[in-house]
Structure 1
Amino acid sequence: MKRAGPLYTLFAGLALAVIMLSLNATTGDRSASFAGAPAATTTPAPSASPTRTASSPSSSPSAKTSYAGRTDDDTAAVSVSVRGDKAVAYFCDGRSKESWLKGSVEDDGSMKLSGRHGAELEGKLADARIRGTVRIEDRPYGFTAKKAVKPSGLYRATAQVRGAKIDGGWIVLPDGRQVGIVRRDDEPSAAPRIDPETGAVTVDGEPLNARPVTP
């Protein structure tokens, strides 16, 4: 009985050693499985393509810019509204002669616009102005149109008034002068003044609203 104590102690120590070895082996296997495996890497998600916004030239035309001025002989006015690579122009003498023209603008600023009855405009946009020539009824008119700051620019109003088709065009020059023609069933006459701040105008007693022209 006196020898049982040391034996129990020996057996207990052996059992404890076996348990410790088992735990170490298990821990070692787990550690090896992590240590031997390649480090986990996080693959960055593919970056999304940049969202195109309304201000991006590749997604939509740029903001509209207007130009207005007089012909070299000071007998008429010319206004050109440009947006992206498109342009609309209006030639008007304020009495009976007018023409609406439209076309494209090249990367170098050159433009060639066309209208009814063979009307043509050729010009070049540079240094915040357009220098060119308008040909109306086989007559050329040289012109220079400078960048127009609102309320200067090009306006138009169309409506039915007392059974007549109304089509009016206005050029508001940088100095505040206005040149325009209103056609009643295609008959031209001098246009009444518009309020360039609001576009309000009265034609034959009827209130209309002239709006800025956009290509």
Structure 2
Amino acid sequence: MNKLTRTLLVGISAFVALGTLAACSGGSSNQATSSSASPTTTTAAPTAFPQSARYIADMTAADGKTMTIGISVDGDQVAAYACNGTDDEAWFFGNQTDGSIDIKSRFRDTLQADFDGTNVDGDLNMNGVAYEFTAKPVTGAAGMYTAELDGARASWVVREDGSAVGVQINGAVLDAVDVQQLNDAQFRAQVRNKRQLQQAAQITRLSNGAMSSTINGTDVTPTLVNGSFRLG
């Protein structure tokens, strides 16, 4: 083989090798690009609630404010109570549909939540403050309780460990103004935040299993709230 022929063969071999390397490199690049693509995220659909159940959650807002919520479900009926234990509270009444809750309090607070098969995950807006929560199922004496005496009402959320948080309201002011004409900010200032609220008296469980407390110094027997409970 002469020198010219050897030179041509070497050049052809180098060209073929370079083409093969480029093809392999291109394949690797495509695979990396594909694997780096963001996965598609999906949100699990709500699950049907049990026929009867109670749930409780403690939560903290971004500004540090705290709130506790109790939720009771019976069939499609829902009752929920949220309070901070000192000077804010809201009752929520309505229905759940296919494991989803979307209800509003009479003071324009909102509660939206879904049942995930175990817990109730949701968003609560109280007086313009947003909270996120995961309410876990509770049993035994844990749940929401309320008692009324001479126009005053005390309500509590009692946790499974026996600790409780509650607020007492001494009358409401919904009829003081034409509330339909007020926007949310006006409503909070003129109606919602003018309620007479105070920390509820301690609630205790008696040896017979009943709950006991006082309203303005008078003994009362709080009752356990179920999903069909409604205020008049």
- Relative to the length of structure 2, the TM-score reads 0.60
Q: Does the 8 Å CA contact 1:114/1:121 hold for their aligned counterparts?
A: yes
- Structure 2 residue 209 is matched with structure 1 residue 202: no
| Contact 1:72/1:144 (8 A) holds in 2 | no
Separation of aligned partners in 1, 2:139 and 2:124: 23
Q: Secondary structure at the match of 2:202?
A: coil
Question: Is the 1:78–1:90 Cα contact (8 Å) retained in structure 2?
Answer: yes
Superposition pairs of residues 65-214 of structure 1, within 5 angstroms: 65-73=53-61, 75-107=66-98, 109-160=99-150, 165-186=151-172, 187-196=196-205, 197-214=209-226
Tell me the secondary structure at the aligned position of residue 118 of structure 1.
coil
Show CA shifts across 1:6-33 (max 9, x none): xxxxxxxxxxxxxxxxxxxxxxxxxxxx
Percent identity, aligned pairs only, is: 26
4+ runs deviating over 6 angstroms = none
CA distance in 2, matches of 1:83, 1:96: 29
Q: Shift of the alpha carbon at 1:202?
A: 1.9
Which structure's CA Rg is the greater one?
1
* TM-aligned CA deviation for residue 134 of structure 1: 0.7
- Alpha-carbon displacement from aligned partner over 1:118-150 (angstroms, at most 9, x marks no partner): 111000112321110111122211112111112
User: Over aligned residue pairs, what C-alpha RMSD do you find?
Assistant: 1.7
Structure 1: distance between partners of 2:224 and 2:152: 17
Deviation per residue, 1:159-191 (Å, 9 max, x gap)? 21xxxx211110011232211001123411111
* Contact 1:89 1:102 survives alignment (8 Å): yes
User: Which range moved further: 77-86 or 176-185?
Assistant: 176-185
Could you tell me whether the CA contact under 8 Å between 2:154 and 2:215 is conserved in 1?
no
> 2:149·2:215 contact (CA, 8 Å) conserved in 1?
no
* Structure 1: gaps of 5 or more residues: 1-61
Consecutive unaligned residues in structure 2, runs of 5 or more: 1-49, 173-195
The 2-side partners of 1:96 and 1:64 are apart by 30
For residue 84 of structure 1, report the CA deviation from its aligned partner: 0.3
Give me the whole-angstrom Cα distance separating, in 2, the residues matched to 1:128 and 1:168. Answer: 29
Q: Residue type of the partner of 2:211?
A: G
Scaled by the length of structure 1, what TM-score is found?
0.65
Report 1 or 2 for greater relative contact order, CA contacts < 8 Å, sequence distance ≥ 6.
Answer: 2
Instruction: State the Cα distance separating 1:63 from its structure 2 match.
Output: 5.3
